[in-house]
Structure 1
Amino acid sequence: MPEYLSPGVYVEEVDAGPRPIAGVSTSTAGMVGVTQRGPTDGKPKLVTNFLEFQTTFGGFLPEPDPAIRDAWANNPAEGGRWWLFPLAVKGFFDNGGQRLYVKRVASGAAQPASGQVFTGLVSAITQDAAAGVTTLQLAHVIGFTGTDAVTVFRGGDDVEIGTVTITAYNATTGRVTLGTGLPAAVKASRGDYVQLGDRGTEPSLRFSASSPGSWGKAVQVRISPSVSASLPVLPDPGEGPLFTTALAANAEQDAGAITVNAVPGLDPGPLPDDVWVLINDRRFPVTVAEPVDGKVTLTFPDGTTHAPWKAGLTVRRVRLANAGAGATLRISGSGRLYEGAATQLDTGDKLTTLTIRSVGPDDVVTFDANTPEQVFESARLRLVESTVDTRFTDPGGGSVTETFRNLRLTGDGPGTVTGTLASQSRLVRGETIGEPSSDPADFPTPASGSWLSLADDGDDAFDGLDVGDFVGTDGGSGKRTGIVALEDIDEIAICAVPGVWAGTVESALVTHCEQLKDRFAVLDPQDGLDIEGIQAFREPFDTKYAALYYPWLVVNDPSTGQFVEAPPSGHIIGIYARTDVERGVHKAPANAVIRGIRLTDGIAQDVTKRHQDVLNPRGINALRFFPGLGQRVWGARTLSSDTSWKYVNVRRLFLFLEESIDEGTQWVVFEPNDESLWALVRQTVANFLTTVWRSGALAGTTADEAFFVQCDRSTMTDDDIANGRLICVIGVAPVFPAEFVIFRIQQKTREPQLV
C-alpha cells in the first residue's frame, strides 16, 4: 500500500477493469530441411520472403548422386526427397506465407571449406595504367618505406609482370611515383597487384566457411592492412610559437636568403636556433634575423638550392616534434591508440613502421624503436589495423559480399578479426594460428594472389545424412538441432519437414506438436502412391495435431528449368497462413486455389470424387482439379479418430484460444487469489472471447450461446485455494465447416383452385 507520511497532494495510478488479451499469431510457420548453406547452430532463422531465404540459406539444391538419391527415394519407411526443400519454401511464399522460421539440417560428417593465409605484403592496383607510365594507383602503401622495389603481378593467374622502384608516394591517396616506367599495362578489374618482398611459408590465420558444405568452396576472403585513424604529431613544447607569413620580395633561384613580412612570433627571441619553414611543400632550415622596418630576413645554409619565388608566396613555420632520435612522440588523439598496436609514421618523405609500447599522460606515446631523427608537426601517425572482404557467388544466381573494417589481428573479442567474423559474417569464420605479426610487412597474405579461395575440406557428406539429423537433439536453448530446434521459437504455429516421409521423422514432428500443444503439423506422404498406397501410409497415425495431404504437386525447378514433383506441405502451410490472414483461423484452409504449381496438370495424380469418397473419411485431404475453378485444396480433416477434433480449423482455433489466453493472463500469477481476482479474470477472458465471437469464429446468435466463463467457488475448492490454484472453466462453441452442402429438391404439383 502507498504511504502517506507528510501533508501534501498525492497522485496515484490505479488499474481499472480487466486487462486485454491480444490474439497470438497463427500464420507463423516453421520448417526443417536441408539447404545449400546457412547456419546449423543457434535458433531457427526468420525469413520473410524467398529472396531472403536464398540470401541466408542459398538457392535450389541439385539432385544428389544416384546412389544417395535412390537410398532415400526408394525407401518407403524411412525415406524422403529432402533435396526438394527449397521448392517447398518457395511454395510457402507463393501461397501467401509471410513469416517462416527455417532450421537447416546437415549431415554430422559435413565439413566447412577452409584455407590458410601466410605472411607477406601485397597492395591491389586500383586504377588501370598503360605500359611505360611512371605513376601507379595502389589501394594502400601501409608497410612500405616510400622508396621500395616492388614486383607487379597480373591478377587471376599471378604471372609476374616486372619489378619497379617507388621513388615517391602519397600515403593519403595511395598514389606512387616510379623510378622507371611500367614494363606492361596493368588492369584493376583483373585484380593486378604489387608485392613487397617474398611471402612467408608459416600460416598465420585460418579462414573457414561459416557453415559446413561444399558451398564454401565458392567463398573467397581477402584480408588487407588499413588505416583506422590518422593522428597528427604534436610539436615539442620547447619549440616556441607557430607563424605564417609571405615573401616580401621576389627571390632569385638558389638565393641564400629571403625577406618575409614580420608577423607575431617571427622573432629570434622566442625561437630556437634550428627553425624550419615550409615553402611550396618543401622544408628548409633557416636562421632568423631581427625584424627591420616590418621585414625579417631568413638565411638558408650554404649550398641550399631552390626554385625562383615570387613575392607573396606563403612561408609557414613547421616545428620539430622531437629533439633528436628517440622512442617517444606526442600524438594528438592518443586515446585511439593501444599497447601493441601497429602504426606507420609518415614524415612526408619516409614511412616508418612502429609498434606502440605504451600510451602515457599528456599524449606521450612510446614506441618499440626510435623514430627518425627529425619528425615535424606536419607528420602523421597512422593506426594500422585490417579490413576483411568476403565474397560468394551462388551457382544458382546471386552473390553476397561483405566488408569489415578496423579490425585488430590479435585477440578474439569484439573488434578483432576472429570475433567480428564470428558475430557478424554470414560467410566466413576466422581462427588465429600462433600470434600474427604486428609488422604490416608480414601481414596475413595468401600463398598467391590477394584473394584466398576456401578450397579445402568443404563437404556436404550427404552419404552420411540420416533421419536422426532431421529429428535433432536437445542441447538446450540455442543449441538444439532438427525438429527439436523449433521449440526455441514460441511464435511458430504451423510446422513441417517437407519432402521427408520417414516414419521416425514424422512421428517426431507429431510428438513435438503434441508436447508443446501450441502448433499444428502438416505431413507429406511418399511420392507416387496410389489410392491403396496412401491409405496404407495413413494407417499408423492418430493425432489431432497433424493433417495429411495427397498427392504431390508439379512445380517448375528454376535451377534446371524442368518440371518436377514437389511435396505439398510447403504450399499447404502457405495456404494456412493466407487463410488465417484473410479470413481467420476459424476458416477451414480448404477450397483454396494452390498457387505456384504448373497451370495444367499441376497435381501429380488425378483424384476423382469416387477416390475421395474413400480418402476423406480416413482423414486424407485431397488436392483436386476442377474445370473452371482450378487446382484446389479439397479437404480439411486432421488425422484424429476423435470426431470432436476431425477438422483442421477447429483444432487450430482451440490452439489459438489456448495460447492467447495463456499469454494474456500471465499477470494473474502471484496475485491475491480472491473474489476480486476471479471477477477480473472472468471479465478479461469474456471480453476476449466476445471479440472472437464477433469475428465469426464461434457459433451462436448471442455471446451466451457462443461461450461461457466460470471462475468462482463452483470451480475451486478450499483445498485448491490453499494450494495456490486458480481454476477457470471455459466453454466455447466452434464453427464447423460446411463440409457437405446438401440441397434437397422435390417436385411440387400445382393444385387446382376453385373459382
Structure 2
Amino acid sequence: MAEYLSPGVYVEEIDAGPRPIAGVSTSTAGMVGVTARGPSTGKPRLVTNFLEFQNTFGGFLPEPAAHVRDAWAGDHAEGGRWWLFPLAVKGFFDNGGRRLYVKRVVSGGAKAAFGTLAQGLVSPVAADAAPGADRLRLGHLLGFAGTGQQVQVFRGDDGRAVHTATVTAYETATGRVTLDQPLPAEVRASRGDYVQVGERGTGRTLRFTAVSPGTWGDGVQVRVQPVAAAALPVLPEPAEGGLFVTRLAEDAPEDSATVTVTAAAGLDPATLPGEVWAQIGAGRHQVQVGPAADGLVTLTLPAGTAHPAWQAGLTVRRVRRGNTSPGRTLRVGGASRLYPGAVVQLDDGTALTRRTVETVTGDTVAFDGETPGTFFESDRVHLVEAEVSTRFTGPGGAPVTEHFTGLRLGGDGPSSLVTALAARSQLVRAESLPDLSADPARFPVPATGSWLTLADGDDAYESLTTADFAGADGGSGRRTGIVALEDIDEVAVCAVPGLWSGTVESALVTHCEQLGDRFAVLDPRDGLDIEGVLAFREPFDTRYAALYHPWLVVRDPATLRDVEVPPSGHLAGVYARVDVERGVHKAPANVVVRGIRQTDGFAQDITRRHQDLLNPRGVNALRFFPGLGHRVWGARTLSSDSSWKYVNVRRLFLYLEESIDEGTQWVVFEPNDESLWALVRQTVGNFLTTVWRSGALAGTTADEAFFVACDRTTMTEDDLANGRLVCVVGVAPVHPAEFVIFRIQQKTRETQIS
C-alpha cells in the first residue's frame, strides 16, 4: 500500500480488469535425427526454412555403408532409416512448416576432424603477375626484414616452387615487393600462390578442431596470418622544435647539391636543431638550412647525395626525429593501443624490425631491444596481431567463410584467438600448444601450403544406437536426443523421422505425456502390409500420438532417384499448415500432401476396404483420390479412450491448457480472495470466448461452449489454508465430421386435386 506522508498530489497507476491470455503457437515442431554436420551439444537449434537447415546442419545424407544400412533397415523391432532425416525436414517445410527445432544425433564414437599448425612465415600473393614481372603484391609484409630478404614463391595448388629471389625494395602500405630476378612463370592469386620466407619449423603452435564431430570437418580449411591491427605514428622528440612546409622555388637538376625553396614559417636556422631532415618528393634527406634572402632559402644536401631531378613547386616539408640515437624507447601516438607483450614492427623505409613491448607509460613505449637507427615522425609502428580465416563448402550447402581479425595469440581474454573462436566461429575451435609465438617470423602455418585442411573426422555410424536417439538428461543445455526437446517450451509437435524402433518411439511418447504440452507423430516400419501395420500399432495406447501409413515417395535431390521416406516429417508440416490456415481445432485431414511424386506419391495404395480395418484401430491412412490428389485421410490418435480419439480434439486441449498456463502466471502469490477469483474467471472466460468465436468450440452461445468456475464451490477451506486456488474449466470441443452420411430415399409423386 502506498504511503502518504506529506501533503501533495499523488499520481498512481493501478491495474484494472483482467489480463488478456495470448494463445500459444501450435505449429512449432521439434525433430531429432542424424545430420551431416551442425551443433551436437547445447539446446536444439531453430531453423525456419530448408536452406537455413542446410547451412546449419548440412545437406542430404548418402546411404551409410551396406553393413550399417542392413543392420538398421533389417531390424524389425529396433531399426530405422535415419539417413532419410534431411528429406523429412524438407517435407516439413514443403507442407507449410515454418518453425522447426532440430536436435542433431551423433554416435558416441564420433570424432571431430582436427589439424595442427607448425611455424614459419608465409604471405599470400594478393594480385596476379605475368612471367617476366619483377614486382609482386603480397597480403602482408609482417615478419619480413626489408631489403636484402630472400623469398621463395610457391604455387598454391600443388606446392611446387616457382621462383627464388631477393627483395630489393618494398612498399609497406601496398604490400608490393621488387625482386632482383624476374618471375620465370605466371603467379596467380586465385590459385592460392604464396611467398615463403626461410624454412618452416617443426614446433607445434595451434591445434584446430571442427566445431562438431563427423567427416564433414574434413572439408574445413583454416589459415592464420599476421595482420597490422594498428599503424601508429612515431612522435617527435620535444627538442626537435617546430615544422616547416614550403615548395621548391626553382628546378633542381639531378644529384644537385643544393635546392632553393621559398621562405616559410619555421624555416629559420636559428630555431632549428643542428641536424634537420626534409621530405623532398618521395625521398627523405638531411639538409643544412641557409639564411633567408629575398624570400628564398637554400638547402644544402650532404655531398654525394643522389636524387632525381626535381621541378619547381614540389612540396618540401620537415620531418622530425623520434629518436636522436638508438635506444629502447620511442614516443608513439595512440600508444594506448599497445600492451605489454605486444609484438610490433618498426619500418624506417629500408628495413623492417620486430620488437616486443615491455611497458607503456603515457605515449612512451619501452621495447625489449634497441630501436635500430633513427626513426622519424613519418615512420609507423605496426601492431602485429593475428587474423584467422576459415572456409567450408559442403555438398548442397552454401559456402561458409569466416574472418576474425585483431586477435591475440596468447592470453585468455575476449580478444585472444582461442576465446574469440570459441565464442564466434561456426566451424572451428582452437587450442594453444607449447611452441606458440606471436613473432610473425614464427607464426602458426601448416607444414605445407598456406591453408590447413582438417582431417580424420569420423561419424562412427557403426556405433550409433537407439540410445543415442532416445537421449539422456544432463540438465538444461546438456540434454541429448529426444530428451533435449524439453529445453524448448514452444515445441508443439514432435517426431523422430525414419525410426520405427520401439525404444525410440516409446521414449517420444513418454516425452509428450510427461510434459503434457506436445503431440507426437510416429512412423511405422517401411514396407508393411495392412496386417503388419496393425500389428505394429498394437503396443501403443496414448492420447499424445498419431500413426500414419504408408510411407511416401519423393525425389532425392542428391541422387536424383525416387526414394521412400517416412511420413512424420511431411505430416508435421501438414499440422503446421492447417493450424495457420484454419486453426488447431481443424482436423489435419482431407488436405493434400505436398513435396511427393505427382503419381504414385504413396508407397502403397490404400483402398476403402483397407481403411475399414485401419481407421477403427487408430491408424491414419494416406490415400490417393483421382482428381483430388494425395490426401491425408485420417485424424485419429492412438488412444483407446473414445474421448480422445481425434487428433484435433487432443491438440485443441493442449493449446487451451498451455495458453491458460502461460497467461495466468501473474496469479501466483496474489491474495487468494473473491476479487482474485473474479479476475481469474473473467481472464479465462474472455480467452475462451475468443476461442469459441473462432469456431473451435461447439455451441450457439458462449454458455453452451464452455464454463469457468472459480469460487467457494471449487475450493474448500483446506485448499485456501494450503494456498491453492482451484479453477474448474469445461469446454465443448468441435469434433470432425469423420463420417458424412446422406440418407436418400424414394419419394412417390402424389397427385393433388384442387
The bucket for the TM-score relative to the shorter chain is: over 0.9
Give, in angstroms, the shift of residue 534 of structure 1: 0.4
- The amino acid that maps onto 1:332 is G
- The amino acid that maps onto 1:28 is T
Q: Say what the alpha-carbon RMSD is for the aligned residues.
A: 1.2
Give, in angstroms, the shift of residue 397 of structure 1: 5.2
Which residue of the partner structure matches residue 658 of structure 2? 659
| CA distance in 2 between partners of 1:666 and 1:617 (Å) | 40
Which residue of the partner structure matches residue 712 of structure 1? 711
Give, in angstroms, the shift of residue 382 of structure 1: 1.2
| CA distance in 1 between partners of 2:256 and 2:74 (Å) | 96
| CA distance in 2 between partners of 1:556 and 1:412 (Å) | 50
Which residue of the partner structure matches residue 207 of structure 2? 206
Query: Within the alignment, does 1:343 sit opposite 2:344 as a pair?
Result: yes
| Residues 410, 435 of structure 1: 8 Å contact kept | no
SS in structure 2 opposite 1:196? strand
| Residues 54, 396 of structure 2: 8 Å contact kept | no
Give, in angstroms, the shift of residue 215 of structure 1: 1.0
Give, in angstroms, the shift of residue 435 of structure 1: 4.9
Which residue of the partner structure matches residue 420 of structure 2? 420
> Cα deviation per residue 1:309-365 (whole Å; 9 max; x = unaligned)?
33322110000011211111111112222221121112222211111112112x111
The farther-off stretch of 423-432 and 467-476 is: 423-432
SS in structure 1 opposite 2:250? coil
> Cα deviation per residue 1:541-567 (whole Å; 9 max; x = unaligned)?
010000000110001111100000000
SS in structure 1 opposite 2:462? helix
- The amino acid that maps onto 1:489 is I
> Cα deviation per residue 1:505-534 (whole Å; 9 max; x = unaligned)?
001000100111110000000000111100
The farther-off stretch of 169-178 and 29-38 is: 169-178
> Cα deviation per residue 1:118-139 (whole Å; 9 max; x = unaligned)?
0001111121111221111111
Give, in angstroms, the shift of residue 753 of structure 1: 2.0
SS in structure 2 opposite 1:390? strand
| Residues 29, 99 of structure 2: 8 Å contact kept | yes
Which residue of the partner structure matches residue 72 of structure 1? 72
The farther-off stretch of 305-314 and 192-201 is: 305-314
> Cα deviation per residue 1:583-606 (whole Å; 9 max; x = unaligned)?
000000000100000111110011
Give, in angstroms, the shift of residue 179 of structure 1: 1.5
Mark the runs of 5 or more structure 2 residues left unpaired by the alignment: none
- The amino acid that maps onto 1:177 is T
Give, in angstroms, the shift of residue 413 of structure 1: 3.9
| Residues 355, 438 of structure 1: 8 Å contact kept | no
The farther-off stretch of 304-313 and 427-436 is: 304-313
SS in structure 1 opposite 2:365? strand
- The amino acid that maps onto 1:462 is Y
| CA distance in 1 between partners of 2:412 and 2:90 (Å) | 38
Which residue of the partner structure matches residue 107 of structure 2? 107
| Residues 34, 106 of structure 2: 8 Å contact kept | yes
Which residue of the partner structure matches residue 95 of structure 1? 95
Residues 321-720 of structure 1 correspond to what in structure 2 (within 5 A)?
321-361=322-362, 363-396=363-396, 398-455=398-455, 457-720=456-719
The farther-off stretch of 342-351 and 306-315 is: 306-315
| Residues 222, 388 of structure 1: 8 Å contact kept | yes
Give, in angstroms, the shift of residue 676 of structure 1: 0.9
Give, in angstroms, the shift of residue 297 of structure 1: 2.5
| Residues 219, 453 of structure 2: 8 Å contact kept | yes
Which residue of the partner structure matches residue 55 of structure 2? 55
Which residue of the partner structure matches residue 24 of structure 1? 24
The farther-off stretch of 306-315 and 442-451 is: 306-315
SS in structure 2 opposite 1:598? coil
SS in structure 2 opposite 1:201? strand
Which residue of the partner structure matches residue 164 of structure 1? 165
Give, in angstroms, the shift of residue 291 of structure 1: 2.7
TM-score (norm 2): 0.98
Give, in angstroms, the shift of residue 261 of structure 1: 1.9
| CA distance in 1 between partners of 2:237 and 2:410 (Å) | 33
SS in structure 2 opposite 1:204? strand
Query: Within the alignment, does 1:187 sit opposite 2:222 as a pair?
Result: no
- The amino acid that maps onto 1:38 is G
SS in structure 1 opposite 2:692? helix
| CA distance in 1 between partners of 2:430 and 2:412 (Å) | 9
- The amino acid that maps onto 1:481 is T
Which residue of the partner structure matches residue 11 of structure 1? 11
| Residues 55, 397 of structure 2: 8 Å contact kept | no
> Cα deviation per residue 1:276-298 (whole Å; 9 max; x = unaligned)?
00101211112223333333222
The farther-off stretch of 529-538 and 709-718 is: 709-718
Identity of aligned residues (%): 70
The farther-off stretch of 526-535 and 349-358 is: 349-358
| CA distance in 1 between partners of 2:516 and 2:736 (Å) | 22
| CA distance in 2 between partners of 1:221 and 1:645 (Å) | 56
Change in Cα spacing, 1:399 to 1:308, as seen in structure 2 (3 Å) is: closer
| CA distance in 2 between partners of 1:186 and 1:251 (Å) | 40
Residues 77-88 of structure 1 correspond to what in structure 2 (within 5 A)?
77-88=77-88
- The amino acid that maps onto 1:658 is E
| Residues 546, 619 of structure 2: 8 Å contact kept | yes
- The amino acid that maps onto 2:276 is V
- The amino acid that maps onto 1:265 is G
| Residues 54, 397 of structure 2: 8 Å contact kept | no
- The amino acid that maps onto 1:563 is D
| Residues 494, 519 of structure 2: 8 Å contact kept | yes
SS in structure 2 opposite 1:21? coil
Give, in angstroms, the shift of residue 378 of structure 1: 0.4
Residue-pair matches, total: 753
- The amino acid that maps onto 1:715 is T
> Cα deviation per residue 1:627-671 (whole Å; 9 max; x = unaligned)?
110000000000011111100000000000010011111111111
The farther-off stretch of 348-357 and 677-686 is: 348-357
Give, in angstroms, the shift of residue 434 of structure 1: 1.5
| CA distance in 2 between partners of 1:698 and 1:308 (Å) | 96
| Residues 496, 569 of structure 1: 8 Å contact kept | yes
SS in structure 1 opposite 2:204? coil
Residues 743-754 of structure 1 correspond to what in structure 2 (within 5 A)?
743-754=742-753
| Residues 259, 297 of structure 1: 8 Å contact kept | yes
| CA distance in 2 between partners of 1:469 and 1:153 (Å) | 47
| Residues 203, 435 of structure 2: 8 Å contact kept | no
| Residues 119, 444 of structure 1: 8 Å contact kept | yes
| CA distance in 1 between partners of 2:91 and 2:532 (Å) | 25
SS in structure 2 opposite 1:120? strand
- The amino acid that maps onto 1:378 is S
- The amino acid that maps onto 2:539 is P
Which residue of the partner structure matches residue 724 of structure 2? 725
Which residue of the partner structure matches residue 241 of structure 1? 242
| Residues 513, 545 of structure 1: 8 Å contact kept | yes
Give, in angstroms, the shift of residue 246 of structure 1: 1.3
Runs of 4+ off more than 4 Å: none
| Residues 418, 432 of structure 2: 8 Å contact kept | yes
| CA distance in 1 between partners of 2:254 and 2:91 (Å) | 82
| CA distance in 2 between partners of 1:307 and 1:520 (Å) | 85
| Residues 355, 369 of structure 2: 8 Å contact kept | yes
Query: Within the alignment, does 1:255 sit opposite 2:285 as a pair?
Result: no
Which residue of the partner structure matches residue 268 of structure 1? 269
| CA distance in 2 between partners of 1:435 and 1:189 (Å) | 31
Which residue of the partner structure matches residue 227 of structure 2? 226
| Residues 345, 383 of structure 2: 8 Å contact kept | yes
| Residues 546, 618 of structure 2: 8 Å contact kept | yes
> Cα deviation per residue 1:348-405 (whole Å; 9 max; x = unaligned)?
22211111112112x1111111112200000111111111111112134542222222
> Cα deviation per residue 1:163-205 (whole Å; 9 max; x = unaligned)?
0111111111111111121122211121111100000112111
